[in-house]
Amino acid sequence: MSSEISDDPIETPASEEARERAFYGRRKGKALRLGQATAIAELLPRLAVDLSRPPIEPRALFEVPVDDVWMESGFGGGEHLIETATANPSIGFVGAEPFVNGMAKALVALHEAGLEHRIRLHHADSVPLLDALAPASLGRFYLLYPDPWPKKRHWKRRFVQRDNLDRIARVLRPGGEFRFASDWAPYVDWALAEVLAHPAFEWTARVADDWRKPWAGWPGTRYEEKAIREGRTPAYLIFRRI
């Protein structure tokens, strides 16, 4: 595998029927370092989730018994994924990330943390992974600082849409949680409205600090640091699967 990574944009689909297969954004960025390229070539195949035989029972993906499985969609460089896995040694984690550089960074970090036995990865958009998982098989789903697509003509590209909420609801067991964080206030409002309109979820907030302050155990992310540095206020929403 060449370490030369192009920065070409991904073409958008020609029709709404292609929505489920669409990924909007970059998949590739700057050239990978040797260790990152090696991780993509050698470690990723060992940790990749095989989607060819659904439905997939997530607990069966791991080398060790786990009490539950949590998933993160679009984990970037894996900071939250790895720190949360380290802090929860009885939990298995599944992460989806289409961006090559983010996946490479996460692979190196999880190897250094010794977490190969409790993390499995999907190097693409999370929709096919969600569709392949068995019903009611996850205890938690994270969507942290997703692209807000601020222009109105791009709102249909936002991940929080009814079809994806249906997917999340299907894989979460009753009492499971959908955790969402963003520093883009219009997208926070959008997500809140979309999820509250879905019959499978309820918002757990009772006072303002429930969404103004990070949930317990939040390790922070580089996106959050950038948002605060630039004067934006993040919001942290927890929705429970009814």
Residue pLDDT, tens place only, 25-77? 455 556 777 778 988 999 999 999 999 999 999 999 999 999 999 999 999 99
CB–CB of 108/28 below 8 Å? no
Q: Say how far apart CA 39 and CA 47 lie, in whole Å.
A: 11
Q: What integer pLDDT is reported at residue 11 of this predicted model? A: 34
Task: Classify each residue of 190-214 as buried b or exposed e, where b means 16 or more C-beta atoms within 10 Å of its C-beta.
Answer: bbbebbeebebbeeebeeeeebeee
pLDDT at 8 over 70: no
* Catalytic-labelled residue, pool 68, 125, 131, 147: 147
Binning pLDDT at 50, 70 and 90, where does residue 220 land? confident
Average pLDDT over residues 95-113: 95
The single-letter DSSP state of residue 57 is -
Q: What integer pLDDT is reported at residue 134 of this predicted model? A: 98
Confidence (pTM): 0.87
Q: What integer pLDDT is reported at residue 14 of this predicted model? A: 36
Q: How far is CA 37 from the centre of its chain?
A: 22
- Amino acid sitting at position 126: S
Q: What integer pLDDT is reported at residue 31 of this predicted model? A: 77
Q: Say how far apart CA 141 and CA 240 lie, in whole Å.
A: 10
Q: Which residues lie across from 143 on neighbouring strands? A: 73, 180
- Indicate if 67 belongs to the active site: no
Mean pLDDT of the chain: 89
What Cα–Cα distance (Å) separates residue 93 from each residue in 59, 62, 78? Answer: 9, 9, 11
CB–CB of 179/237 below 8 Å? yes
Domains assigned to the chain = 16-241 (3.40.50.150)
pLDDT at 92 over 70: yes
Q: What is the pLDDT of residues 144-166, one digit of tens each?
A: 999 999 999 999 999 999 999 99
Q: What integer pLDDT is reported at residue 106 of this predicted model? A: 95
Average pLDDT over residues 194-222: 95
What's the start-to-end Cα distance of the chain, in Å?
45
pLDDT at 18 over 70: no
Q: What integer pLDDT is reported at residue 234 of this predicted model? A: 95
Q: What integer pLDDT is reported at residue 22 of this predicted model? A: 52
Burial category of 147 from C-beta neighbours within 10 Å (exposed 0-12, middle 13-18, buried 19 and up): middle
Q: What integer pLDDT is reported at residue 32 of this predicted model? A: 78
- Tell me the two tokens of residue 186: 């219009």
Helix axis angle for 79-87 and 100-112, nearest 10°, is 30
pLDDT at 5 over 70: no
Q: What integer pLDDT is reported at residue 221 of this predicted model? A: 84
